[in-house]
Amino acid sequence: MANHKSALKRIRSNEAKRVRNRYQHKSTRTAIRRLRATEDKAEAAELFKTVSSMVDKLARKNVIHKNKAANLKSGLAVFVNAL
């Protein structure tokens, strides 16, 4: 167990950040699945805007790697344009 007050605080803050990151990552993956299931082009284009901003936010906060974010956005753009 941690011996210092600062270490205890670090444990608490790390857990809070972990839970927040996990929630945001999971909700982004759900939004991506919803976008891929869409067959209406107008709805997909609207969803693509929100999903791409969610992915960018995850990359900016280092929850996912920036190249993974770019690959996700690229694949989703190809999907939306093919509708």
Give me the domain span that covers residue 76: 5-82
Average pLDDT, the chain: 95
pLDDT of residue 3: 81
What is d(CA 52, CA 78) in angstroms, rounded to the nearest whole number? 13
In CATH, what number is assigned to the domain containing residue 22?
Answer: 1.20.58.110
Contact 59, 65 (CB under 8 A): yes
CB count in 10 Å sphere of residue 63: 18
pLDDT confidence band for 2 (50 / 70 / 90):
confident
pTM for the full model? 0.84
Domain count, the chain: 1
Residue 53: C-alpha distances to residues 5, 30, 49 (Å):
37, 14, 6
Q: State mean pLDDT over 5-32.
A: 95
| Distance in Å from the first CA to the final CA of the chain | 55
